[in-house]
Amino acid sequence: MRPLHPDRRPAVVTGASSGIGAAAALALASAGHPVALGARRVDKCAEVAQQIRDAGGEAVVHALDLADPDSVKAFAESVTRSLGEVEVLVSNAGRLTPGTIHEVETDVFGRDIDVNLMGAHRLVRAFVPGMVARRRGDVVFVSSDVAGRARPFVSAYTASKWGLEGMAHAMQMELEGTGVRASIVRPGPTRSELGSDWSGEDVEFLIGKWLAWGHARHPRTLRPSVIADAIVSTVSAARGVHINVIEISPEAPITDPESP
């Protein structure tokens, strides 16, 4: 007989203060998961958590800085005390610094790698051993379409997402037979706060270069809730089913057949 998911499946979402992370927390809570929200902006997470509670769900908030190993350790301990053993981990937090690769300072380059890749590994170390011991659990890595096709002038972000997917694919093989599933959700252009601190000049420059290299074929972007729905579908799959990779792209506007 195929094993079933437990009735209670506490979920962790990182980068939960806005964008995809906030949408994922809301969607998981709506699907019945108790949710722990982690980010540096605890006040923003608290607002999302209150929305969950107002809708009848269960949510807790704990501070989390993925670049700080002590913060990750304290976060994992606090979440377990608050909600119990974690069944679902959504590794979503990330940072993106624009710049020309040969001009970016190495420590700046390294900060993006540290959060996006090393931070994800810190989460894995904190939560996955317990999942393996219980012989069940879901880990979802929120990647990016840059992992399939590099994008210029965001080199550290691109490198980190390539590395993240390499780690995730290796995990999929290493975890086979443990009952723990590692999955990748790879969004295309999505409306979020990532890049909201860039200058207008940086935005204009990047969009121009991305257009030149064919990275923006049309102006449409995805809503964060679309990515959240994919995350919920991934972790809700029946045991015995492993959704390895989901890539989501915005559909182009429908063209008028009468137009030239």
pLDDT digits (tens, 9 = 90+) for 191-208: 565 555 556 666 666 666
Q: Which of the four pLDDT bands, split at 50, 70 and 90, describes residue 54?
A: very high
Please give the residue that has the higher pLDDT: either 260 or 153.
153
Percent of the chain residues past pLDDT 90, beyond the cut: 71
Distance, in Å, from the CA atom of 236 to the CA atom of 238, rounded to the nearest integer, reads 6
Domain 11-248 is in which class?
alpha beta
The pTM of this model reads: 0.88
Active site residue 157: yes
Catalytic choice (17, 144, 157, 183): 157
Q: How far is CA 191 from the centre of its chain?
A: 14
Q: Are 14 and 66 in contact (CB under 8 A)?
A: yes
First to last CA, the chain: 59
Catalytic choice (155, 161, 183, 192): 161
Percent of the chain residues past pLDDT 70, beyond the cut: 85
Q: Are 64 and 115 in contact (CB under 8 A)?
A: no
Count CA within 13 A, CB hemisphere, residue 110. Answer: 3
Active site residue 143: yes
Catalytic choice (71, 143, 144, 183): 143
pLDDT per position as a tens digit, 122-154? 999 999 999 999 999 999 999 998 888 888 888
Residue ranges covered by each domain of the chain:
11-248
Mean pLDDT of the chain: 89
pLDDT at res. 1: 61
Distance, in Å, from the CA atom of 35 to the CA atom of 89, rounded to the nearest integer, reads 10
SS3 (DSSP) at 138: strand
